[in-house]
Amino acid sequence: MSIDQALAGKLAKALPSLAMAESAAILELAIMPDHVHAVVELTTRTDVPRLVQRMKGASARFANRDGWTRTHLRWERGYDARTVARDGLGRVRAYLDSQSEHHGRPLLARWTGPSRAEQAANVLETGRPFGAEAH
Question: pLDDT tens-digit profile of 106-132?
Answer: 989 998 887 777 776 766 776 655 554
Q: Give domain status of residue 131, yes or no.
A: no
> What pLDDT is recorded for position 132?
42
The total number of structural domains in the chain stands at 1
Q: Could you tell me the CATH number of the domain that includes residue 35?
A: 3.30.70
Domain boundaries, position 61: 5-126
Q: Give domain status of residue 90, yes or no.
A: yes
Q: Give domain status of residue 133, yes or no.
A: no
Q: Give domain status of residue 132, yes or no.
A: no
Q: Give domain status of residue 135, yes or no.
A: no
Ordered DSSP codes for 16-69: HHHHHTTT-EEEEEEE-SS-EEEEEE--TT--HHHHHHHHHHHHHHHHHHTTS-
Question: Which pTM does this prediction carry?
Answer: 0.80
> What pLDDT is recorded for position 2?
81
The model's confidence at residue 19, banded by pLDDT at 50, 70 and 90, is: very high
